[in-house]
Structure 1
């Protein structure tokens, strides 16, 4: 697998940055609609919505959101979580599909089969699976394959993003070229670009780096040229000293 070439990397950067803005706007809208941060429950919410609101508030506090005066609750971290999880579940589904790793378990069959994204739409059309879109179904399959990454029991995934935001996110995922999903370093760049705006904010603020700031200012991966440099000058140098003659070293 080759690393992303520059034009594709630039396109991925633009897409991921727009996706974060769109996803966070969507998350904020749906959380405000449920009144998750409000002191009192909205009267128009039904029992299921009230229960979801309660569980989202608990989840938000687990993430670090605070109760102000014991009633109103901040939702900053919950917004980030909702946006991150919904976008990346779709994105990972396409990564899996483009590498023939998106698995479907047919009814009554113990062995899964790999399917392209288009088959997800076929399954919905024929009534074999129920989902709002092929992206939703593909994301569900991805979560089943990666349950420790995308937890199906999380209240975050019980939220339906506003249609205009959801459609834009789906368009962003679909608009990326196939080559993006088969490059060796794409996932690392995805993380970098998702954190780019927050990283700039942290660096500009001059605050001491703590647990809250750390994810935005650290890298998840090391680029191939740096891996080669480190290997050549550590393990490679050790091997050369033990295995090569002085003549070999002169001609290396």
Structure 2
């Protein structure tokens, strides 16, 4: 995985998304210095700077204004930009791994020679609740950007059933600030799907999401620490950039293999799990007295249902995901039915805490 390429991509994507989101806000009369009032308002539409907004768009704009009044313009723009970055990253990961319920790529094509996402070419056949007449009209009139936006939002709303935290139903201001120009050759989406910028095989690894998030906020992190030198304290808004660091996979495995793995190895010295815990370290030589004391406190014939595994700073749960894999093997060794194991692990074994 090329970390420098990921960092360059994520930092440039943040700048691009912020610009695009701010540009969309300006189109509906919202800037950092001014929030324009409607020139004309009726029951089903309003006009801002001569631009007509539908009743639905008016509701979204009102929610956007309320959020700005609550936390400030810059914070809202950051929030919306990151929301879209997060969603597009998830969509890219899901399409490469064939996790999308429709089975159709939304950002790229399975044909390397095709410039358009498969979603656009198969728009009328997608297993989604879409207005086929509207889609047909957009295709007929070559309104590709509008079609792309419409179908992305439909996908996000559909995925809400499976991942409600990642894909909140898009009925608020994130929709009205949907970035424009995402299909352009120089857009961050183009870089995201470029097989030379980020290898497709890298998108098959779940840790790419953690790395991209860390690099997305890396400039903010640098700014936070530069401000510290000027006696500008870290606050609740800057805390995430200062503290959210992704743990590399080998460190995750080292920690889990020598904690959870050690509990099982001590309890069952002949366990087949030994082949899976590649970072497990055997104990060093000890004198007879120490060995006797160690033997008294070793785990013996532990029941997997009684092991509690807690990550006190879990972030996205990267460490818990690997622990899940080890627990699964432990339950199998003890003769549990495969279909029963995931529920047991989630209910009895895995716990995580973090600052939201």
Q: Please tell me the TM-score bracket, short chain as reference.
A: 0.7 to 0.9
Q: How does 1:36-51 map to 2 (within 5 A)?
A: 36-37=30-31, 38-41=34-37, 42-48=48-54, 50-51=58-59
Name the structure where helix makes up a greater proportion of residues: 1
Shift of 1:101: 0.7
Verify: 1:230 aligned to 2:255, yes or no.
yes
* Number of residues of Structure 1 aligned to a counterpart in Structure 2: 223
For structure 1, which runs of at least 5 residues remain unmatched after alignment? 66-74, 105-113
**Unpaired stretches in structure 2, ≥5 consecutive residues:** 38-47, 110-117, 126-130, 136-143, 270-281, 286-356
1:141 equivalent in structure 2: 155
Bigger shift: residues 77-86 or 223-232:
223-232
Residue 209 of structure 1 is aligned with which of 218, 234, 253?
234
CA drift at 1:250: 5.8
**In 2, distance between residues paired with 1:156 and 1:186?**
24
1:92 aligns with 2:90: yes
Q: Conserved in 2, the CA contact under 8 Å of 1:96 and 1:142?
A: no
Structure of greater relative contact order (alpha carbons < 8 Å, 6+ residues apart): 1
SS of the residue corresponding to residue 103 of structure 1 reads: coil
**In structure 1, the residue corresponding to 2:68 is in which secondary structure?**
helix
Q: TM-score, normalised by structure 2?
A: 0.54
Q: Pick closer, same or farther for the CA change 1:239–1:79 going to 2, 3 Å.
A: same
Three-state SS of the structure 1 residue aligned to 2:244 is coil
What whole-Å deviation, never above 9, does each CA across 1:90-112 have from its counterpart, x for those lacking one? 221111111111112xxxxxxxx
The one-character-per-residue Cα deviations of 1:139-162 (angstroms, maximum 9, x if unpaired) are 631442133323211221123434
If the length of structure 1 is used for normalisation, what is the TM-score?
0.74
- Structure number with greater Rg is 2
Match for residue 172 of structure 1 among 171, 185, 191: 191
Task: Select which of 204, 208, 212 maps to 1:182.
Answer: 204
CA distance in 1: counterparts of 2:59 and 2:149, whole angstroms: 26
Provide the residue aligned with 1:121 in structure 2.
120
Contact 1:90–1:173, Cα closer than 8 Å, also in 2? no
1:77 to 72, 75, 78: 75
Contact 2:7/2:212 (CA < 8 Å) preserved in 1?
yes
In structure 2, C-alpha distance between the alignment counterparts of 1:133 and 1:50, rounded to whole Å: 21
Give the match for residue 71 of structure 1: none
**Contact 1:92-1:142 within 8 A present in 2 as well:** no
Q: Which secondary structure does the structure 2 equivalent of 1:203 belong to?
A: helix
Other-structure match for 1:55: 63
Q: CA shift at 1:34, angstroms?
A: 1.9
Alignment of 1:150-165 (within 5 A): 150-151=167-168, 152-163=170-181
Q: Which residue of 1 aligns with 2:24?
A: 30
State the shift of 1:43 in Å. Answer: 4.4
CA contact (8 A) 2:149 2:178 kept: no
1:198 positional shift? 0.2
Secondary structure of residue in 2 paired with 1:209: coil
Would you say the 8 A contact 2:29–2:49 is kept in 1?
no
Deviations 1:111-158 (A, max 9, x none): xxx223443122237795837355762463144213332321122112
Deviation at 1:81, TM superposition (A): 1.9
RMSD of aligned alpha carbons:
3.1
State the Cα distance separating 1:177 from its structure 2 match: 2.5
Q: Which of these residues, 197, 202, 219, is aligned with residue 219 of structure 2?
A: 197
Give, in whole Å, the separation in 2 of the partners of 1:85 and 1:57: 17
Query: What SS does the corresponding residue of 1:46 show, helix, strand or coil?
Result: strand
**Separation in 2, partners of 1:213, 1:30:** 25
Quick one: distance in 1 between partners of 2:96 and 2:152?
12
Note if contact 2:28-2:51 (Cα within 8 Å) is conserved in structure 1.
Answer: yes
